[in-house]
Structure 1
Amino acid sequence: MRRILTVNIMILLIFASASYWMEEGEKLKDTMASAETIQAEVSEPEVEKKYIKGVDFQVSCLALSESYEYDRDTYGTDHHIRWTDLLAWTAAHTGGSFSDDRKVCSLLTKLEKAVEGGKTLEQLTESLDYFSYYQEAYEAVLGGMVGEYEMEETEEGDQGRKVMKKRYGLKAFHPIAKGFPYTDYDDFGVSRTYGYRRAHLGHDMMGQTGTPVVCVESGYVEVLGWNQYGGWRIGIRSFDRKRYYYYAHLRQGFPYQPELKEGSVVLAGDVIGYMGHTGYSVKENVNNIDQTHLHFGMQLIFDESQKDGDDQIWIDCYQIVRFLYRQQSETIRDDETKEWRRVYLMKDPAAEAYERTLDFSMYP
């Protein structure tokens, strides 16, 4: 009996010992796994994202016009070149400067003739330093402004009937509606002092209170409301998320179309708001800006961290505004609501993947 008891005790001790060492083994495995994870984190640092950190946009109105017209006129042919590629080619030869009109036109013509002679863009740029940088940068600035779209037109001799016509070309609009006077000059970078000393990161267009403000490029409303610096303002993001358009100092009391809200999809040429002089106040709906004007700004975003971070990229869009003057949105006033609306509707393929607000649809 005593022998049986002794054997049982020994069996229990063996099981207890085995269980103990199994537990210790699992603990050791966990410890080793943790050590390996820590070692991996130490030995494999996070790879820094590579994206463009800055763009000094100096493209002239002349260069924009010349490159755009070649893009438009050769579309659908074997020697078609996008205007952004034409501009990138030129910038790669001039270091981004477009101050010499004669040199710019000569370079544009040289590339056009080479392509018409059978050369491909890839062959002509394979050893060209910085072409890829300027190509990406200028595509970010201008990529949503030219392409296929449909626009309403009035048919002649048919009692003013409107029809949709397919087009390829400029589908961006000037920020001021057609027929409304304004004055401006290149004021990008000048000093501002309200709140703190800073550079002016936009373009001011002085005009009359109530002047219709037009959406430059199709996109969606990302920001809407009051800001102490910009007063009543609208921020519109392009569908590819690379451009953020900022319209500020809108009219007191009736700053923008009442149906607009954050997330609303708007098309280029839509009336989105009205010129005023609100801002420079923490209190809403205050006119503390001396002169009525539209502050129009354009921000580039290559990585989402740049949207509100310390490395924001705002470009001088004075030359772009001059170029866009060739396409202003024609508007008409509703005497009952006192709102202005566009006369000719537009369909933009870039907007087809996005749902427009039901009460603000420009589609027929």
Structure 2
Amino acid sequence: MTLNIVFLNEIHLFSNSSTAKTDLSEESGHILWVDFNVPCEAMKKAISLDIASRNSKNKLNFIDLLAYLAAKNGNNFSSYKDRQLDDIAVKLSSGKTMDELTSDLKYYDYYHEAFSAVLSGFVGEYEIELPDTDGTGKHWERRYGIKVFSPIAKNFPYSHYDDFGSRRSYGFSRTHLGNDLIGQVGTPIIAVESGIIEAMGWNQYGGWRIGIRSFDSKRYYYYAHLRKNFPYRKDLAVGSIVSSGDVIGYLGRTGYSIKENVNNIDTSHLHFGMQLIFDESQKECLSEIWINVFEIVRLLDSNRSAVIKNPETKDYNRVYGYRDLSCYSE
């Protein structure tokens, strides 16, 4: 009898166990489980407070704000209102410290570490090309704000709903650990965050897929079911560095086949997922941490990368250049 072990990051089989008793391993010291259900509206509000306080004496940090709120409400955002974050911001702006506000919140440190793993690459300084006001050229601007992009290029339609945890049956029954973005075959797929390509190629479940690791190694972005015959931007390979907003591939319906380059998915879509890695032992194991990215996709819909097609190569490329300043030394 042959025993085959296949890791989750190749087929996305199991959800985080609902019977887990702890979020932190007493033996290893690293987080074992994360339930990320922060609504898009809360992320938008926290980020806006962070940006607005950029040059103030008591600068706010959006991850601090969200972690405080989760620790306060038991990670239940069903009754979320913007004023909850406004109230925290007023206290911090008046001179209170987060240490003072969280002194009696047992799980603040846990939520802060967990949310940092999810969101730490989302806001910061960057430089981006923009069109000149007279329309004759482009210029670079330095900015502070959201520096991640939607996985779907600008002006390309798509639809999605919260399908995290739904059942999948190809091969055997398993849980869906991502968000399916339904769109047209050939739609340019965008790198959400800057990072290094760790995986490319065929997998019988995900079809043509690509995996990108964030520079801080905490996030692994998974893009699957890419287009038959032309899944990737032609100049990419494992080890390539990509910037957020770059075109990395094209939407398709490949997968559900041992044979390569086969369309066995009924509806063309992008499977988009995010794995959290607190310790390298978690990268490929039977207890990987995949979060629900539905609300993140909603957040990023307002920041989509403009692209243009090269008629010679048939590849799409971004229109405006981008530099993530956290990746460059001064």
Q: Is TM (by shorter chain) over 0.5?
A: yes
2:281 aligns to what?
Answer: 305
Q: Which amino acid aligns with 1:226?
A: W
2:53 aligns to what?
Answer: 74
Q: Offset of 1:160 from its aligned partner?
A: 2.3
Q: Secondary structure at the match of 1:137?
A: helix
Q: Secondary structure at the match of 1:296?
A: strand
Q: Which amino acid aligns with 2:308?
A: I
Q: Which amino acid aligns with 2:31?
A: I
1:295 aligns with 2:268: no
How many residues are treated as equivalent by the alignment?
304
2:97 maps to which of 120, 130, 136: 120
Matches of residues 53-202 of structure 1 in structure 2 within 5 Å?
Answer: 53-102=32-81, 105-157=82-134, 159-202=135-178
Q: Which amino acid aligns with 2:323?
A: K
**For 2:242 and 2:147, how far apart are their aligned partners in 1?**
13
**Residues 336-358 of structure 1: CA deviation (Å, up to 9, x unaligned):** 211111000001123337xxxxx
Q: Offset of 1:322 from its aligned partner?
A: 0.2
In the superposition, relative to structure 1, how do residues 129 and 107 fare at CA in structure 2: closer, same or farther (>3 Å)? farther
1:284 maps to which of 241, 260, 263: 260
2:9 aligns to what?
Answer: none
2:20 aligns to what?
Answer: none
Q: Offset of 1:310 from its aligned partner?
A: 1.2
Q: Is the 8 A contact 1:239 1:350 kept in 2?
A: no
Q: Offset of 1:259 from its aligned partner?
A: 1.1
1:4 aligns to what?
Answer: none
Q: Secondary structure at the match of 1:213?
A: strand
Q: Secondary structure at the match of 2:145?
A: strand
**For 2:69 and 2:27, how far apart are their aligned partners in 1?**
31
**For 1:341 and 1:191, how far apart are their aligned partners in 2?**
35
Q: Is the 8 A contact 1:219 1:351 kept in 2?
A: no
RMSD over equivalenced CA pairs, Å: 1.2
Q: Which amino acid aligns with 1:225?
A: G
2:187 maps to which of 205, 208, 211: 211
Residue ranges of structure 2 left out of the alignment (5+ in a row): 1-25
Q: Is the 8 A contact 2:123 2:146 kept in 1?
A: yes
Q: Secondary structure at the match of 1:151?
A: strand
Q: TM-score, length-normalised on structure 2?
A: 0.90
Q: Offset of 1:334 from its aligned partner?
A: 1.1
Q: Offset of 1:153 from its aligned partner?
A: 1.0
Q: Secondary structure at the match of 2:212?
A: strand
**For 1:351 and 1:219, how far apart are their aligned partners in 2?**
9
| Larger Rg, first or second structure (1 or 2) | 1
Q: Which amino acid aligns with 2:88?
A: L
**For 1:343 and 1:124, how far apart are their aligned partners in 2?**
44
**For 1:66 and 1:74, how far apart are their aligned partners in 2?**
12
2:244 maps to which of 258, 264, 268: 268
1:243 aligns with 2:219: yes
Work out the percentage of aligned pairs sharing the same amino acid: 52
Q: Is the 8 A contact 2:125 2:326 kept in 1?
A: no
Q: Which amino acid aligns with 1:174?
A: S
Q: TM-score, length-normalised on structure 1?
A: 0.82
**For 2:284 and 2:136, how far apart are their aligned partners in 1?**
47
Q: Is the 8 A contact 2:200 2:210 kept in 1?
A: yes
Q: Offset of 1:193 from its aligned partner?
A: 0.8
Q: Secondary structure at the match of 1:101?
A: coil
Q: Which amino acid aligns with 1:57?
A: F
Higher relative contact order (CA 8 A, sep 6+): 2
1:14 aligns to what?
Answer: none
**Residues 71-120 of structure 1: CA deviation (Å, up to 9, x unaligned):** 11111211211111110010011111111133xx2321221110121112
1:220 aligns to what?
Answer: 196
Q: Which amino acid aligns with 1:90?
A: L
Q: Is the 8 A contact 1:207 1:275 kept in 2?
A: yes
Q: Is the 8 A contact 1:208 1:276 kept in 2?
A: yes
2:15 aligns to what?
Answer: none
Q: Offset of 1:236 from its aligned partner?
A: 0.2
Residue ranges of structure 1 left out of the alignment (5+ in a row): 1-46, 354-364
